[in-house]
Each structure stands twice: as C-alpha cells, then as structure tokens.
Amino acid sequence: MPLAKFPRPAQLRVRSLATSSTAKPALSGLSVTGKSRAEKISQEWKGTSATGGNSKNFIGGEFVESKADQWIDVVDPASQTLLTRVPETTSSEFEQAVDAAQQAYKTWSRSSVLTRQRFVMDLQHQLRQHSDAIANSIVLEQGKTYPDAQGDLLRGLQVVETATNIPTALLGDTIEGTWIPQRADFRWVYALGSSILLFHAAYTLTCSFRYSIAPFNFPAMIPLWTIPVALATGNTLVLKPSERDPGAAMMIAELCQKAGLPAGVLNVVHGTVPTVNAICDHPSIKAISFVGGDRAGKHIYERGRATGKRVQANMGAKNHAVLMPDANKNHALNSIIGAAFGAAGQRCMAISVAVLVGNAQSWLPEIVERAKKLKVSQGFEQGADLGPVISQAAKQRITGLIASAEEEGGAIALDGRGYEVAGYPDGNWVGPTVIEATTTMRCYREEIFGPVLVVIKADTLDDALAIINENKYGNGTAIFTNSGATARKFEREVEVGQVGVNVPIPVPLPMFSWSGNKGSFLGDIPFYGHGGIDFYTQNKTTTALWKAEDAIGNKASVDMPTHH
C-alpha cells in the first residue's frame, strides 16, 4: 500500500517539510539549564534527540533511522531552536511497522494475562523512574512549565496504574445449571494501534492491529491513554505521535522495551497526513484511536470507518465555567484562572469561557487583575506560570481571533498580544487575555486553544445553561456555587459530558472513562476505564451442553432451541 497513493490533500494543513527552515541552530537559543537537559536527552535516549539529531522510528523492537526524503523540524517554542527532526515515514517503513505488529500479535495476543499485567507493572516503575527526563522533553518541545509537564506524565501514569488491574477487568460472566447448557462470556483481544492511531488484532481474525494518533498538547498523557490498555488486553499497536513534540512518545517506547515488552508489540512511526491516511486505509489495522482537532478527527473517523475500522476520536472543545454569585469567590476565581491559562490554554479541558451569572458579573475586574499577575516564561524558568504557545502559526491564529473580537464589538479587558519575555525574543508568546464577548462572536464560537478567556454575562442559571447547551461542543464544564440544589440542577440539565462542581478541570480518573460528547467526540466507545477495555476487546459467548448420557430417540427437533 504505497503512501504515494495518499497525497497530502490540498485542503488539509500542510507543514513545512523543508530540511532547512527558519529554525535556529541546535542549542543556540537555549538557556544554560535548557542546554544541559537537551544534551542529556540526546546522550541517554535511543529514539529521540534534543540537540538537532533525527528522531527514529521504532519498528520491530529497533530504533531505526528513516530513509525519508522529507523531514519536519521540531523546535523549542520559546526560542525556535532546532531540537530534532521527524521523518515523513516512507511507505515501506510503514509496511514494516504494520508487519512487525502483525507478527507480534500472533504471540502477544495469546500470552498469559499475568504476563501482560507484569509488563504494565514494570512499565509503571520505569515511567516513575524516568519522569524527569520525560518532563524535560515536554518542556523543551511543547513549552509547558516543568511542574505542568510532570502533571502531563502523571495523568498518563494513572491510566497505567489502573491497567495493572487487567486480570480482573477481563473477567467474563458464566452461568451454569442442571437444565440449561453452560454458558460463558469471554473477552478476546481485538487490537488498535499507532501514534495517535492504534491498531490491534482480534483473536479470531487473521490479524488486527490498532493504531493511535496523538495531538501535541499532552505528549505523554495521551499516548498513555491508549498504550497500557491496548497492550494489556493483548493488542499490538502502532503509534504516530504528534510531529511537533515526539520526544516523550519515543521515551515511552524505550521504557516499554525496558519493561520487557516483546519486539513488535508497540511500534512508532512518524509523519503527517500521508501516514495517517495509510493507517485509515490499511486492511490489517482494525481500530484507530485519535485525539486532536476537529478537521483531522472527522477525516480520520470517516476514512477509518469507510474501511470497517473501529474508531474513537476525541476532538475540540469550548469549556464553560459558570460562576454563581453564591460561590466561594477566591476558590472560584483562582480555579477559573488556573484552568484558563495553565498550559497557555492548550488543554482540551481548559476553561475557555466564563459565564458570570447575576451579581458575579461584578467580579470581572478581579479576574483581570489576577490574570495579569501570572508570569509567562520559558518552562524551566523559576516561577513561570505558563509558557509559549506551540508554534508561530498558532500564535497568529490566536492573535487573529483576539483581533476579530475587537472588530465584532467585544471588549478586550486584558490584551496579551505583543507580550515580550526577557531573554527569549523569538518565543511564541501570548500573554493572558480576557475578552468580554457575546455568543455570536468568532472568539466565542471557535476553539482558540490559547491563553484567552472569553467572558459572557448571563442573568440566571437557566440562561447560562441555555448558552452552554447551544454550544456545539460537549467536552467539559464546571459550576462554582455553594448551593447543592443549584449544582444538582446544573449537573442534570447541562448537555456536556464531563461536569465539575467547584472543580475546574473535571477529567475523569482512569477507572472511569473519558466522556466528552456532542462535537467533541466521534465514535461509540470512549477512552480508558470500562470503555477502554471495551474498545480494545471483542466479546465472544460460548453456549455448551455436556451430558454423560446420549439423547433419547433419533428424531431431531427443528424448533428454535430456547434452553428451557
């Protein structure tokens, strides 16, 4: 299946694939701390570099240099320093990754569940031991602050820890009786698999792989939403990390190997649209896990479903926080500001809209004052609250949406455009921004994915609910109130999948499933928790009858058997 069959569609975003670009030479723009951590990454890790070397593919248990003729620069968003380059994986390399996953599936899917549990336990240990290295990579490539980068990994680790329960999670049901045949429900593995596309193979099928495709904003957490669950259920996987920050995924692949994962069970290929399209079309891949933006998500869902794959696609969001006048004010304002501007607003569960109800409208000046105090800087710098946005293009898009609010009559209460950070003149800086807007404006309707809080005023809780329910997205929402009755009404009536009551980022713990809905999700089975197990397995039932004596008579009954 040559990738040339899948040219990058003109309407899709095309990244610069030039081998030389505007990136600054490796190490030149990094601080002393940044340099030493980048050098350590390059020295100690097989699959990635932070000093300008190439990222490798991970195929059949080997970190292999790609023969690609197109490479994508990965740069530090605080300085544009070249960290690494990722290949647009060639068609033959992609086929090798799929072959490796298919071959490994034959034995991994039949391995004891205790073997797979042991692997997940050892992976947990490896991830904890190397959490600093992974966080360093995230700060350099993604731009998060160091404590936030640790949080990125720790949220993924919680999924790994929950997956250590895999033998219990895979228990089926049985029923036995004198007059009814024995019946047992088993779960058999079905696979998903690659770097934000995962594929896996079903036990009863010749082969099924899973493929996983990831976004840039959680380079560790999102691969870890899929890897432990897919592998613990006996699938093999191909992962395609974000081409903007692949380092954490490469480290995780190496740690899987250190934790004893057999060759070929997890493979990593890099690339952009051609690789993703090849995943969607490949007949051996049985399922795709995708997390990212709307355009890619809809495309992958439709194209993957067209070839019969199971697809789950987590997509964009516009998350509203409702601020009631009876809320604990300090807690509510601090929570909303932390959730709006943390990670420079580049979280799918970031609070991007605050709905101020009734007298809470008078708190707007305090929101602005508190947002102003946040320190924007490179992620290793002392006291940094938020870092740069991921790319120059993202900065342009964000500042363009702020400008559109001005043009449409919105009031910019705090303007983060033109923000400068000493020592980092070339960073993709956008300072915290607060816009008083209405629901017809572009800044409200479109996902901004930057440090911008849109403020909407509402007279009553019913008005606030109507605003949220009319919004096309359904990822997360929160209410701040001291009234149980108000909270209960909100919880019942809001049409959003993940609801926080006095909690700003209500991401479900990994024993539950991700539950974003409406325009934020395509598919039927969610990530991790019970949903994760269901997504990566196929149910099978066996109905059996064993009797010592033979049947009486020699006439077959042709009536439908009812087992009574």
**By the criterion CB under 6 A, which residues form the site for ligand NAD?**
12-13, 196, 213-218, 240, 242-243, 272-273, 276, 291-293, 295-296, 299-300, 314-317, 348, 447, 449, 475, 516, 520
Shortest spacing between CB 550 and ligand NAD, in angstroms = 58
Handedness of CA 18, 139, 241, 471 (dihedral sign): negative
Nearest by Cα to 164 from 116, 211, 94, 102: 116
Closer Cβ to ligand NAD, 397 or 417, answer by number = 397
Closer Cβ to ligand NAD, 39 or 294, answer by number = 294
Shortest spacing between CB 473 and ligand NAD, in angstroms = 9
Using CB positions, name the residue nearest to ligand NAD. Answer: 292
For β-strands 237-240 and 209-213, DSSP reports them as: parallel
Measured torsion, CA atoms of residues 49, 53, 58, 62, in degrees rounded to the nearest 10 = -100
Residues 232/163, Cβ–Cβ less than 8 Å: yes
Nearest by Cα to 313 from 295, 331, 327: 295
Closer Cβ to ligand NAD, 23 or 276, answer by number = 276
Shortest spacing between CB 225 and ligand NAD, in angstroms = 8
Residues 276/197, Cβ–Cβ less than 8 Å: yes
Shortest spacing between CB 356 and ligand NAD, in angstroms = 24
Closer Cβ to ligand NAD, 83 or 360, answer by number = 83
Shortest spacing between CB 460 and ligand NAD, in angstroms = 29
C-alpha span between 383 and 216 (Å, rounded): 24
Shortest spacing between CB 299 and ligand NAD, in angstroms = 5
Neighbouring residues of 39: CB distance < 8 A, sequence distance ≥ 6: 27, 50, 51
Amino acid at the residue 233? T
Amino acid at the residue 148? D
Catalytic residue among 256, 280, 348, 443: 348
Shortest spacing between CB 360 and ligand NAD, in angstroms = 27
C-alpha span between 102 and 209 (Å, rounded): 7
Handedness of CA 30, 31, 32, 36 (dihedral sign): negative
C-alpha span between 82 and 75 (Å, rounded): 5
Q: Which two tokens stand for residue 231?
A: 């592998």
Closer Cβ to ligand NAD, 343 or 441, answer by number = 343
Coarse DSSP helix, strand, coil percentages of the chain, rounded to the nearest 5 percent:
35, 20, 45
DSSP 3-state of 14:
coil
Shortest spacing between CB 290 and ligand NAD, in angstroms = 7
Closer Cβ to ligand NAD, 187 or 299, answer by number = 299
C-alpha span between 184 and 174 (Å, rounded): 4
Closer Cβ to ligand NAD, 191 or 296, answer by number = 296
- Supply the DSSP symbol for 547: -
Measured torsion, CA atoms of residues 518, 524, 530, 536, in degrees rounded to the nearest 10 = -140
Measured torsion, CA atoms of residues 406, 142, 301, 8, in degrees rounded to the nearest 10 = 90
Give the burial class of 477: count Cβ atoms within 10 A of its Cβ; 0-12 exposed, 13-18 middle, 19 or more buried. buried
Count of CB atoms within 10 A of residue 36's CB? 11
Active site residue 348: yes
One-character DSSP codes across 137-198: HHHHHH---HHHHHHHHHHHHHHHHHHTTHHHHT---EE--SSS-EEEEEEEE--B-TTEEE
Closer Cβ to ligand NAD, 234 or 516, answer by number = 516
Closer Cβ to ligand NAD, 149 or 276, answer by number = 276
Amino acid at the residue 363? W
Closer Cβ to ligand NAD, 363 or 449, answer by number = 449
Q: Partners of 174 in the beta sheet?
A: 184
Using alpha carbons only, what angle is made at residue 222 by residues 217 and 225, rounded to the nearest 5 degrees? Answer: 165
Host H or E run for residue 287: strand 285-291
Shortest spacing between CB 346 and ligand NAD, in angstroms = 7
Shortest spacing between CB 441 and ligand NAD, in angstroms = 19
Residues 316/349, Cβ–Cβ less than 8 Å: no
Shortest spacing between CB 531 and ligand NAD, in angstroms = 13
Closer Cβ to ligand NAD, 391 or 483, answer by number = 391
Length of the chain: 564
Which residues does the annotation mark as catalytic? 348
